[in-house]
Structure 1
């Protein structure tokens, strides 16, 4: 007999409630562990991984991952942005260079075609301050075309001036272009332009030619070529017949071009064939051009024929000696002393002419108040002149008797001296004027030195008595000078 089990309603409700509680607890446990696992997985992947590739993260999760990624990759992003900006700048720079190159190509194309005058003006404009354009245009073949323009349009002044100044700008600070311009025959074409002119050469064209000679002569290899081509007579003519204003640009350019050419010894003879040396000596005294003229003369006296030409000019030594007293122009003093020093060391006749012109007193003054370089040169020249003067006194004391007595024996006592030697003039009498000048200069130098010492010591200016200085300098002689 089967046993019939009756369910108590109260017990059934309790079972259902227990099952619901266990199910709720199991679901809660599963969801927590799953969330923890997903969170750990996300942290290991850096927030960018997911079990399901197509899963879209929640808005909050997306914001957090973006902020973490930005913090982590911030420096790298800045570097990447900087590289991108640099690449953009490089692209802009390349575009600019490409555009500039295309412009230069168009200019050269204009030079080689019908629009030649426009091309020359563009070359002049582009090469005025751009060294890269000078090199590029020369490589593109602009120089031969511009040189050819110098003799292709007759008396078209605008055509000639544009070509001349275009060549001038191409050679600025560019030795390669200067050599290429001369090699292309520009010097001879410029001279042909001068000679072929039926009337007086236009002043603007002549000044443009002078400016080109100045620029081209700065290169050493061009100096002999320009000097032997006949450019020197043209420059001398421009110097003498040009603007009377000593400070004019054309006159200064001409003097500088002649100076550049005089550096080469091979150009001294063409200079001497003109009367420019005489013109230079007569122009000394004009302070705007005197220093440049003295520089040219210093190159001229470097050769034997140059020294002969300079010494043959009347009153050349008094004029040069006068330049030693130009205290407001130390450069002129230094160059003038150099010219006299070179000529004195090479020629006994020139030394005698300098002594007769009164160079000793001027040199003594220069050794005291001149610049350091002028003092050294004056001392060397005085040493040379003193040796000659000692020889001259010795010969005068001998009186032609053939003896070898020295100058100090002129002052010997009458009982031991030769009768002829007693008639020899005293050296002190011969040098009385010079000794007076020396004493005056030494006294002036001592006074200046004492004033400087007193000033350094912050003492009263009347601290040094003048009578005491006179007593100190009254016994001074030329032996105290820095010969």
Structure 2
């Protein structure tokens, strides 16, 4: 008998508990809404006042301040009721109702910052973060778009999203997403990455796999890749993020993207931040794309900013590293540096001249702490030559550099001369043909 009685009691108690939670929830919503719209009200005229009887149908367009205030209060009441219904559907509705509520939140959050802060107080961010992890594309996209609007212009909402675990709910397979979904996730992560500049801990190891996979995908459009690069640029100044960036293959991805002119500037800016860290510099030194790709970028006359970034990275790599300077010399950097020092932007010229000084006879110019970017303490074996043998190697290397430079300059002069001769010959040939084709006046 006791067991048969306990079952209905537990069922009734659970129903009572659910009703109690809903009551507390709507009481809290009403309190927040009333608190936000509480304003001093003006005294209105009584209905029997003579002034009210003077308002006719003809001057109804020019209503009194009291009438305008009543209309405004009526509009606020409608917005309050709409917001209450939206929040109720988001918390307690079906999945279709949640999707519709997320779309309404996206619209309302785009109006002003006060509404965005109010919605955060109503607890919509936690629900939207949970929706962003669903497998249904429509529900997921509606939630992400609403979160993007809520993240604009408020650090509080961004921190609430991070604390709710949005970074751990990113899709694992980027190829399964369409272009719009990829871009929306990338835009949301870009907004959240600004917290790194405010010294708020953002777990980069959770968001980097999604970003790297998105940038490595051939089906990702340029706009989405630019957004991902901007996110990496926000994360790279934080030293704690250098390790995850290197371990997730971020350096190799950036080195590959820097050769695309539409993406080169952002990729080089991020590489410049990573180059001053020990792990980032080591990853660049081990790459097969360095230094040839960076030297190629030095020849981009139409991209002066890229030339400046490339020269800076080459300075960091060459500083107190004999092996890197030797690789650069073999790749033909000296003629390119001479050209940049003459034709580049002022900053690119300055960096090119500094690099050229490092390739001079090191018996007279020694690398010191003042000679370039500081990348930490370096072992004596990586710096200037400390022995007679190193001095001899430096002398031989400079002789080879001079010979190679002269050879390439002669080839360039010869090639230009041949081109000029060919162009003159072609012009002369065309002139003869055109002259013969014309009838002479005599």
Name the counterpart of 1:228: 205
C-alpha distance in 2 between matches for 1:169 and 1:320: 39
Q: Deviations over 1:281-334 (max 9, x none)?
A: 334432112222212211221211111110111241121011111011112111
Q: Larger relative CO (CA 8 A, sep 6+): 1 or 2?
A: 2
C-alpha distance in 1 between matches for 2:90 and 2:396: 82
| Aligned partner (choices 280, 283, 308) of residue 334 of structure 1 | 308
Name the counterpart of 2:287: 313
More displaced 10-residue stretch of structure 1: 324-333 or 368-377: 368-377
Mapped contact 2:236–2:273 kept (Cα < 8 A): yes
Is residue 2:228 matched to residue 1:237? no
Is residue 2:143 matched to residue 1:163? yes
Q: Deviations over 1:21-44 (max 9, x none)?
A: xxxxxxxxxxxxxxxxxxxxxxxx
C-alpha distance in 1 between matches for 2:335 and 2:327: 14
Which residues in structure 2 correspond to 1:37-76 (within 5 Å)? none
Mapped contact 2:99–2:142 kept (Cα < 8 A): yes
More displaced 10-residue stretch of structure 1: 375-384 or 212-221: 375-384
Q: Deviations over 1:128-170 (max 9, x none)?
A: 353332222223322122223234xx53221111111111111
Is residue 2:83 matched to residue 1:104? yes
C-alpha distance in 1 between matches for 2:229 and 2:187: 11
C-alpha distance in 2 between matches for 1:303 and 1:179: 28
Q: CA 1:170–1:437 in 2, change beyond 3 Å: closer, same or farther?
A: same
Query: What secondary structure does 2:318 align onto?
Result: helix
| Aligned partner (choices 226, 230, 233) of residue 259 of structure 1 | 233
Q: CA 1:425–1:382 in 2, change beyond 3 Å: closer, same or farther?
A: closer
Name the counterpart of 1:208: 184
Name the counterpart of 1:146: 128
Which residues in structure 2 correspond to 1:249-398 (within 5 Å)? 249-386=223-360, 388=362, 390=364
Q: CA 1:90–1:388 in 2, change beyond 3 Å: closer, same or farther?
A: farther
Name the counterpart of 1:128: 110
Q: CA 1:321–1:86 in 2, change beyond 3 Å: closer, same or farther?
A: farther
Q: CA 1:381–1:131 in 2, change beyond 3 Å: closer, same or farther?
A: farther
C-alpha distance in 2 between matches for 1:139 and 1:158: 25
Per the TM alignment, residue 90 of structure 1 is displaced from its structure 2 partner at its CA by 6.7
Mapped contact 2:150–2:157 kept (Cα < 8 A): yes
Is residue 2:151 matched to residue 1:176? no
Q: TM-score, normalised by structure 2?
A: 0.63
Query: What secondary structure does 2:293 align onto?
Result: helix
C-alpha distance in 1 between matches for 2:66 and 2:411: 78
C-alpha distance in 2 between matches for 1:341 and 1:380: 8
Mapped contact 1:298–1:335 kept (Cα < 8 A): yes
Name the counterpart of 1:113: 92
Query: What secondary structure does 2:203 align onto?
Result: helix
Mapped contact 1:366–1:378 kept (Cα < 8 A): yes
Mapped contact 1:217–1:223 kept (Cα < 8 A): no
RMSD value, Cα: 3.8
Q: CA 1:438–1:85 in 2, change beyond 3 Å: closer, same or farther?
A: farther
Q: CA 1:95–1:382 in 2, change beyond 3 Å: closer, same or farther?
A: farther
Q: CA 1:108–1:359 in 2, change beyond 3 Å: closer, same or farther?
A: same
Q: CA 1:283–1:144 in 2, change beyond 3 Å: closer, same or farther?
A: closer
Q: Whose radius of gyration is greater, 1 or 2?
A: 1
Mapped contact 1:310–1:316 kept (Cα < 8 A): yes
Mapped contact 1:291–1:332 kept (Cα < 8 A): yes
Mapped contact 1:179–1:222 kept (Cα < 8 A): no
Per the TM alignment, residue 172 of structure 1 is displaced from its structure 2 partner at its CA by 1.6
For structure 2, the residue ranges without an aligned partner over 5 or more in a row are 1-62, 367-383, 413-442
Q: TM-score, normalised by structure 1?
A: 0.58
Per the TM alignment, residue 253 of structure 1 is displaced from its structure 2 partner at its CA by 2.3
Corresponding residue pairs, total: 326
Which residues in structure 2 correspond to 1:399-438 (within 5 Å)? 400=389, 431-432=402-403, 434=405
Mapped contact 1:171–1:215 kept (Cα < 8 A): yes
Name the counterpart of 1:458: none
Mapped contact 1:143–1:167 kept (Cα < 8 A): yes
